[in-house]
Structure 1
Amino acid sequence: MADAAYGLWPLVVLNTALFVLFAVSFFHPKSKRDWRAMGAYSAFLVALFTEMYGTPLTIYLLGSWLGSRFPLLSDTHAGGHLWNDLIGWQGDPHLSPFHLASYVLIGGGFWLIAAAWRVLHQAAQDGTLATTGPYAHIRHPQYDGFLLVMIGFLLQWPTIPTLIMFPILVVIYLRLARSEEREVAQHFGTTWTTYAATTPAFIPRRRRQSAGSRS
């Protein structure tokens, strides 16, 4: 290889463990559904860091096909920042627009997971439905948080396996959310029905300007 950026399997294990433990500390999984959500996220991280520090399968596959068109697409560590090649970024790959956006999404995802957990934990102690904080805008902020973290990593270091995995994981989270909603609906009845009718599942609505606030 051109440098020693790959074959670093201890880094694969260390980074995977670090981000999994980081997510656990924010998410606090308890139920089987929670652990399935964590498992999907963990599988994504294993695929990601295996290519980031272990074996760059995507670079090998694309390099033989697009190498002459994108000279930066090489088996160096910088070559893994594939979006930079597409826009012709010549500077530090860690300061590219894609990389900076990934920091915002990853940080925002973890913040959303943590903020939602605090509201959910308090609601569970009070025996009420979580409807404040992030839950005032979307019904499944913690799943959104995981998806934001994954999108952030895709902007930072896209690979063929993770690009294939992402839509599958979206479907998994959709199914987990629907299963969760069926249980909550049985427990809270009309309270849940009213809340679900006015609060979107994953994508917050734009607040409409009231008639009185218009100039």
Structure 2
Amino acid sequence: MTHDASAYGLWPLVILNSAIFIIFAFSFGKPQSRRDWRSFGAFSAFIVALFTEMYGIPLTIYLLSGWLQTRYPGVDLTSHDAGHLWSTIFGFQGNPHFNVLHILSNLFILVGFILLSAAWKVLHAAQQQHGLASTGPYAYVRHPQYVAFMAILFGFLLQWPTILTLTMFPLLILMYVRLAHAEEREARDAFGARYEAYAAATPAWLPSPIGHRPAGSKSGGVARR
């Protein structure tokens, strides 16, 4: 096994990459309320944990080194490419940055940020008018911003899985679902029958198939703040 000393311990890259994605999420999501900051903080913790293992300390590689060396004796565990564990486990050959999982990862992350930005624009406009968000992503799902965060996090897991982020992911999903339920209770109190009609016509997380969307689904979505 050869040793690539430059593969890890690159703390400037940890800081730089964490800052880039956290700033992107902040600029697209525009957290304002305590609930927003809570969801944004959890997302930021996931990002820092991810890049700490990607460029700083490969804790998952260390913990799994015995199993990995036994199962994949030809893999250089000290190399950066070995950190792409799905590529190692599924036996992908060549540069892991160009395999199908990495490409899917980039698509999930890109779509997530686009959805986050589009949802914020609609929500902000609704808030300015003290009304309900009903156009754009809110015409298809009731919680597009949380869907966006989930897509981004899932994309990163496809790219670079770690024990910590794999553990954090279901906990973050649970947190986003609970926050969504809290928002819906507030929306029902604030908008009554109007929100009930919207909720009955618009799925919470996944858009309805084409041709199966109930009528009246543009009656209005929740303005959370």
Q: TM-score, normalised by structure 2?
A: 0.89
Instruction: Give the whole-Å Cα distance in 2 for the aligned partners of 1:38 and 1:3.
Output: 34
Aligned positions of 1:125-204 closer than 5 A:
125-204=128-207
The code of the aligned residue for 2:25 comes to A
Query: How far apart, in 1, do the equivalents of 2:45 and 2:206 lie?
Result: 24
Structure-2 change in CA distance of 1:209 and 1:144 (3 Å): closer
Unaligned 5+ segments in structure 2 are 214-225
**Deviations 1:19-72 (CA, angstroms, capped at 9, x unpaired):** 111100101111111100101100101110110011101111222112232233
User: 1 or 2, which has the higher helix percentage?
Assistant: 1
Scaled by the length of structure 1, the TM-score of the pair is 0.93
Which of 185, 206, 210 matches 1:207?
210
Matched residue, 2:42: 40
Name the CA distance, whole Å, in 2 between partners of 1:193 and 1:209.
19
The range that moved more, 4-13 or 104-113, is 4-13
CA RMSD of aligned residues (A): 1.4
Relative distance call for 1:43 and 1:190 in structure 2 (3 A) is same
Q: How many residues align?
A: 210
- Cα distance in structure 1, aligned partners of 2:148 and 2:104: 15
Letter in 2 for 1:155: L
Q: CA deviation at 1:15?
A: 1.1
Q: CA 1:90 to 1:125, structure 2 compared with 1: closer, same or farther past 3 Å?
A: same
Decide whether the 8 Å contact of 1:60 with 1:75 is kept in 2.
no
Matched AA of 2:96: P
**Whole-Å separation in 1 of the counterparts to 2:175 and 2:202:** 21
Kindly state the Cα deviation for residue 129 of structure 1 after the two structures are TM-superposed. Answer: 0.8
Equivalent position to 2:8, from 2, 6, 9: 6
Letter in 2 for 1:3: A
Identical pairs, percent: 55
Q: Give me the whole-angstrom Cα distance separating, in 1, the residues matched to 2:184 and 2:79.
A: 46
Aligned to 1:103: 106
